[in-house]
Amino acid sequence: MFTGHFSAATCQQIPTTTTACTGTCYVTETRGPIAAFPGFTTSNIGCSPTAFASPSTNPGTSTWTNPQNGFALDQVYTTSGGSGSNNALAFYGGYRVCLPSGGTISKVEIGIYGHQAMPPTPNDQVRVEYSVTAGVTWNLAGLFMPGTSDTNVFFDVTGQQSWNGALLSTANFEVRMTHVVAGSKNTISVDWIPLRITVSPPSDNWWIYTGGFGSVFPYDSLLYGQFNSQFVSGGAWDQPPCSSLAVPSTGATNYEYACVPAYDTISHAMEFSPCATAAGDPSPGQTRTTVTFGNCSSPVALSAQSAGYQTEDMYGKLELWIPIYGPSEQFGYLAKWNTVINSQGLSVPNFFTWLDAHTAGSTSVTQAFAAPTRSLNPYAASTVFDFQTIGNIYDSLGALNPAQNGQYFDYLASSHCVIFTPDVGSTCKNPILGYPAPPGTVATLRLSLRPDIFWQSDSVGTAHPARPLTSWDVAFSYITLKASGSFQGGVLSPMIDVHVIDKANFDINLNAIGPFTLLSITGPTIFPGRYWSSTCSGTTWDNDVNAGNVPASCMNVTSQMSTITFDPLSSAPNNGASTGILIGSSAFECQSTGGIVGGGGCSSTGVQNPPGGGAYTLTRFGCSRVTGNCNAPGANPTSTYFRSAGTLALDIWSGTNGDTDHDNAVASSAAFCFNKAVGTAGCTQWQRGIGNPGTGSQVGLAQVSAVFRFSQDGNWISPFNWLPGIPEACCPFTSNPPVGIQSATPVLFEGTATLNPCSIDSVNGYDC
């Protein structure tokens, strides 16, 4: 990250103006000089990783002749010899060190160049010492026994000190040499007393992820979700200033480590404001001096829009993040492809494109990534490529309208409502929790799951059986995603607990709620506790589900499986589950050519993150990679995606529309038609079409079961009213579709099958 303004200046000794080295030093205007120790500077240009520094002063009382001659390698010598030369001293200082900035001192050596006259045996020596206390104390570097011609020795003193700029500065560092006479009073000549410092090269890998905006909808996603300090990888060691709610994480969304308590306060006020907008909110045309702010009526607090303005203002003043590039992305696709969804904020590469895109005669969709995935582990996934991959395998409780990101609809869920604590403004028909609210609860989001969702299963063998997705899977996913500090778990910050009511109904207890909460907290992927639980994997999980109680002790994941090193395709889980657990409930599955789901068979390398040129091959949930065959549209939900085009056609055929009274009446009519003669009044809806193929057949158990199935599912895109269902006098239908959706009873495509409404095909249509 670029964190200041840089200017080029001559490399100066700091703080004096004496030139310390040639080249250019870079000085930050925001932080002052790079180094603040006299005689020790760092530079990006002009200084070698291995630097020699020469002395420039004789700080002590020297008894060698001409001690200044030891300043340079020039064959002009300082000498000691003759009577009185034993223990003769020479002092050297003023070493001016210039090193590459950003590196680490890896070696410090003190050198000596010189010779002595033809000596008798034993030879004289020179004792070389150094001081980092301006001559107060001395440390032995080594003993130099020169030959009769110039030789040199470098004494390695790296391990004797924790070297830094202060110790090597001209204020502290000195060298002393002592003539040690062996009896002959021989003459020793020394040419140079250098200092040699080696610096390990600076690392170009700062461990800072360089990324661009993936989406800015809604506007809180970055202002709160990325820069509030609750989302750093933190702990007691950085609190304050960082939030006490932060947990250690390998994929923290606040990877910039922005920790500003005042910013935390205003961004929290934005995220959990009682209302989205209010009279007096900032409006176009206002300036910084005329801007006004609006308050919600009850309780009185800034609206999300007003608090959002103040959050943006503080963000800009603090320069919490300075973009180093402005992304401009273009996505292309072949013109023959139909129903490609150009999503707000994400453009073409979004889940609904992979779900809906089709072209005549093709049975596959190819998506090209600009870079490899980083991890398919739901606890470690963090990049757009990670989520574009696992987002085709795992589903979420809710979804956002790709044509208008502010519109939420239930996805895995069939309905939702809110219970406030205390009950003021609850949206549930029966706003009673039925259990003590966890301490700190201010609101509870109550959701119901569709009853026809199943985990992907093997098309060959029974290693991965078809099992229903239940409330306990949601609880496991949410509790462990938050506890592990996962990247996608950041949006779960207001969650206190997940309380399971039964297999299909559960509560998310919240310590705060605002206009963005529903949009964000329903976004994390849901994955099977059966394969990920640290203590209750496999049949233990199944038995607990069948008994109607999965204990809280099962809601844990092992530390091995929640890290980026765990590959859900190939790593052996340490919880007793078999290898290969990339198993979800969504439209595509990781299936091998042998029909086994979850393992390395869907990767060109057998492991996650194949490099450039590699690929993942995902198979539509409902098809066999072994045979190449797919289930008939609308087939058994245990082996078909619950939101496939065929399932939608069957839902329309059933005649339900999500209104409870209406759907109860429809279900009663279907039950009445059981085994009635073909053509019986009120029964023809279910005696032909996708749910009962042919020109007319009696209504049997399969048809009645299908109607009852969808009478429990709510409208296909709750809370919107899109599918009108069979007209019933009790319950007139009011159309309220989301923005951009096709008109009800569209032409649908599933694999090579085209599913027409009866207005096109009166015999085989799906809504006759």
* Pair 529, 476: CB distance under 8 Å: yes
User: Buried (b) or exposed (e) across 648-664, using 16+ Cβ within 10 A?
Assistant: bbbbbbbbbbbbeebbe
* Regions in the chain scoring below 70 on pLDDT: 1-50, 99-103, 119-121, 184, 201-218, 220, 323-327
* Pair 196, 111: CB distance under 8 Å: yes
Three-class SS state of 488: helix
- Which candidate, 738, 744, 748, 723, places its Cα nearest to that of 647? 748
* Pair 54, 71: CB distance under 8 Å: yes
Question: What contacts 244, CB < 8 A, 6 or more positions away?
Answer: none
* Pair 574, 515: CB distance under 8 Å: no
Q: In this structure, is the dihedral angle defined by the CA atoms of residues 62, 64, 70 and 71, taken in order, positive or negative?
A: positive
- Which candidate, 222, 219, 207, 218, places its Cα nearest to that of 323? 222
User: Hey, which bits of 50-193 come out as E strands?
Assistant: 50-53, 78-80, 89-92, 97-100, 104-116, 125-131, 139-144, 151-156, 174-180, 188-192
DSSP state letters, 626-652: TT--BPPTT--GGGS-TTSHHHHHHHH
* Pair 112, 192: CB distance under 8 Å: yes
* Pair 725, 657: CB distance under 8 Å: yes
Write 673-678 long-range contacts (CB < 8 A, 24+).
673/699, 673/703, 673/704, 674/699, 674/700, 674/701, 674/704, 675/699, 675/700
Answering whether pTM is above 0.75, one says no
- Which candidate, 79, 74, 77, places its Cα nearest to that of 62? 79
Separation of alpha carbons 518 and 304, rounded Å: 14
Domains present along the chain, CATH in parentheses = 6-47 (no CATH), 67-200 (2.60.120), 220-318 (no CATH), 388-620 (3.90.76.10), 644-755 (no CATH)
* Dihedral angle, C-alpha 689, 690, 696, 701, nearest 10 °: -130
Three-class SS state of 418: strand
Determine the residue type at 221.
S
For residue 160, count CB atoms less than 10 angstroms from its CB and return exposed for 0-12, middle for 13-18, buried for 19 or more.
middle
How are the residues of the chain apportioned to helix, strand and coil, as percentages rounded to the nearest 5? Answer: 20, 20, 60
Round the CA-based radius of gyration of the chain to a whole number and report it: 37
Alpha-carbon distance values, 310 to 268, 271, 284, 294, 516 (Å): 11, 12, 15, 12, 17
Separation of alpha carbons 215 and 327, rounded Å: 12
Residue 688: alpha-carbon gap to chain centroid: 49
Separation of alpha carbons 56 and 72, rounded Å: 9
Three-class SS state of 416: strand
The DSSP 8-state label assigned to residue 761 in this structure reads -
* Pair 126, 112: CB distance under 8 Å: yes
- Which candidate, 93, 295, 264, places its Cα nearest to that of 175? 93
Separation of alpha carbons 654 and 703, rounded Å: 8
Tokens 């072949």 correspond to 334
* Interval 39-92: pLDDT, tens: 555 544 445 556 788 999 999 899 999 999 999 999 999 999 877 778 899 999
